[in-house]
Amino acid sequence: MAKTSRVGRRDLVETVAGTTELTRVNAKKVINAVLEGILTILEHSGYLLLANFGTFTVKQTKEHQGINPKTQQSITIPAGYRMGFKVSQSWKKGMVLRKREQERDKVKVHLPKQDPKAKVATKAKGKKKYTRGACRAS
C-alpha cells in the first residue's frame, strides 16, 4: 500500500462538515463531544462496543523491566493502562470492497490511449475500407 500524507482531526472535521451541512465550528464540536464520550465510557466501564464499527477496550499493564535505548541501562517501567481497538468483521469487509473498487477505477482511468490511426475500419455497405499504410491487393 502506498504511503499517503498524514490525515488528522482537521480532515475529519472537513469531511463531517461537508457531509452533514454543519459549519466547521459545529462539526469540530460534534467530533470533540464524540471522542470525549468514548473516553468517559472507557473510564467507567473499560469497554465500548460500536456495532458494525469495532470495540474499544482498556487493559491494565503490569510493571516490568525495560532498557533505556540511549544509555542501555535497565529501567523499571511503571504499571499503567493501554487502550485497544479491534475492527469489526463487517467494517473490514466493507473497507476491502471499497479498496477493490478504488483499484478497479484506477486501472480504468490509467489505460493507455490508442492511436486513432491504428483503429481497424469497419465495413460500409459492402465496400472495404483500409487503414492508413495498409497494402492493397490488386
Rounded Cα distance between 32 and 26, Å, is 10
Q: Say if residues 130 and 136 touch (Cβ distance below 8 Å).
A: yes
User: For the segment 33-46, what is each residue's pLDDT rounded down to a tens digit?
Assistant: 999 999 999 999 99
CA dihedral 50, 51, 52, 55 (to 10 degrees): 40
Structural domain of 25: 8-45
Q: Is residue 35 part of a domain?
A: yes
Q: Is residue 93 part of a domain?
A: no
Q: Is residue 58 part of a domain?
A: no
Domain count, the chain: 1
Q: Which residue has the cell 477496550?
A: 57
- Answering whether pTM is above 0.85, one says no
User: For the segment 115-134, what is each residue's pLDDT rounded down to a tens digit?
Assistant: 656 555 555 555 555 556 55
Q: Is residue 103 part of a domain?
A: no
